[in-house]
Amino acid sequence: MGSVRQRQLKLGAILAGVGTDFSQWRDPELPPNASIDIDWYIQNARLAEEAKFDLVFIVDSPFITPDTAPHFLNRLEPLTLLSALAVSTSHIGLVGTLTTTYWEPYNVARLFGSLDHISKGRAGWNVVTTGLEGASRNYGKDKHLDHALRYRRAEEFVDVVKGLWDSYEDDAFPYDKKNDVFLDKSKQHALNHQGEYLSVAGPLALSRSPQGYPVIFQAGDSNAGRQLGAQIADGTFAAVEDFESAQEYYHDLKTRAKALGRDPASIHVLPGIAPIIAETDEEAREIAVRREGALDIDKKLVALGRAFNYHDFRQYPLDAPFPDTSNLTLNSYKGHAERILRGVNADRLTLRQAAERYGSWRLSFIGSPQTVANEIERWFVGNAADGFNIRVTNPRDFKLFRERVIPILQERGLFRTEYEGTTLRDHLGLSVPENIWTSRKREDSSRADAA
């Protein structure tokens, strides 16, 4: 494809109900139970589909405290939610987050494989390893797995899940009623995986789904996170701070992928953004300032602490230098914590300044529809992004994005006006991977021919 047609933006819609920060839920237009209301999700998924988004994206995390932000406190589980969306939409991709640290690969392979069948080829799995150490106690473990081990385990886990998805070759079921042949037994394969962390026999009780494998996303930003993304991901949602850090991330990820023998264009880098849109730039900036002002400093300190495994920064003096964190292990959201510490050290921030900068931190494109479209194009053309994952919690911003920003992008030829395919792989220009057993048979037979 590549050279024939112009490279196209990819857009995701983050459906996070009442929002992953502390202020969004207070918006008068947002139903306060949005995070557990399937009708809210269906409505917004359909709006995103009407606007030709590539996918909806469901965030997740398996640990909360009383101080956790509203959406995380009380929300639908991603796989059940996405299955309900699958039969309520027809084209949009359905991507859910699930941790490799606290699930069994056999169950995960079934859930996403089944979602891909139910959605007729629109499932995606955002692979995470779980940042918050407290999660271990929800799963009978005294200690959260160490950061490096989590990522090694994740790599093996995804391999195993793909192996299970290959349990049946594409033509394994002749469905021959006359001769009583339901299954061609030679085309059912046990995986018999025995690895460093996992041992899984198989076969999975599920034929290959329309996409072969559901699409793999990944969001880690530490060194190990980037390496995993370069190895396994068809797309990444990693957080970036600004245009320059996004360019660095983009270049680094594609370079790593190329070094692993992959086509860099087959990994889609989609930073998350929270656009704030109004008729004029000035009006949009006023809205941004007003929203920021609604957040008290305590909530910003809690949000800041999340990157450090919910370390409670409320215990320190606000206007003193940022506290010494050298005895906090970075076993949580390591990439994010490292980015905060780099900023703190570079600009010698006080705790208050750090909380103001990072405690309500999000990448906002702020301005008129024209300004936001320009910024999107600048990032896209400047190799800082292949597209964006858009926060849609604020109904007004989402409406303006769909009705005012997207038409500009379409006019410029940067974004589709109609879906050209029906699967998420179609939208992302990804082919269906061949079943590994079929490949082996083909290779064996061509070797035999050559001999």
Residue stretches of the annotated binding site for FMN: 60, 97, 147, 151, 222
Binders of its own copies among residues 87 to 116 (CB under 8 A) are: 87-88, 102-104, 106-107, 110-111, 113-115
Q: Counting beta carbons within 10 angstroms of the beta carbon of residue 54, is it exposed (0 to 12), middle (13 to 18) or buried (19 or more)?
A: buried
The stretches of 328-423 forming alpha helices (DSSP H) are 334-347, 351-358, 369-381, 395-400, 406-411
Strand order in 123-128's β-sheet?
268-269, 235-236, 215-218, 123-128, 93-99, 55-58, 10-14, 387-391, 272-273
User: How big is the site for its own copies, counted in residues (CB under 8 A)?
Assistant: 65
Identity of the residue, 45 or 400, whose beta carbon is nearer to its own copies in the bound complex: 45
Identity of the residue, 188 or 236, whose beta carbon is nearer to its own copies in the bound complex: 188
Query: What span, in angstroms and rounded, lies between the C-alpha atoms of 156 and 105?
Result: 10
Q: Should residue 80 be labelled a site residue for its own copies when binding is judged by CB under 8 A?
A: yes
Kindly tell me which residue out of 73, 149, 297, 318 binds its own copies, with binding defined by CB under 8 A. Answer: 73
Q: Should residue 77 be labelled a site residue for its own copies when binding is judged by CB under 8 A?
A: yes
Binders of its own copies among residues 24 to 63 (CB under 8 A) are: 25-26, 28, 32-33, 36, 38, 42, 61-62
Binding residue ranges: 60, 97, 147, 151, 222
CB of 219 to its own copies, least distance (A): 19
Kindly tell me which residue out of 1, 29, 175, 420 binds its own copies, with binding defined by CB under 8 A. Answer: 175
Query: What span, in angstroms and rounded, lies between the C-alpha atoms of 403 and 417?
Result: 13
Contact 142, 136 (CB under 8 A): yes
Binders of its own copies among residues 256 to 315 (CB under 8 A) are: none
Integer Rg of the chain from CA: 23
Q: Should residue 140 be labelled a site residue for its own copies when binding is judged by CB under 8 A?
A: yes
CB of 139 to its own copies, least distance (A): 6
CA atoms within 13 A on the CB side of 92: 29
Q: Should residue 202 be labelled a site residue for its own copies when binding is judged by CB under 8 A?
A: yes
Query: What span, in angstroms and rounded, lies between the C-alpha atoms of 449 and 451?
Result: 6
Indicate the SS3 state at residue 227.
helix
193-194 and 199-200 beta bridge pairing: antiparallel
- Positions in the binding site for its own copies (CB under 8 A): 18, 25-26, 28, 32-33, 36, 38, 42, 61-62, 64, 66, 68, 70, 72-77, 79-84, 86-88, 102-104, 106-107, 110-111, 113-115, 117-118, 134, 137-140, 168, 173, 175, 177, 180, 182-183, 185, 188, 198-203, 205-207
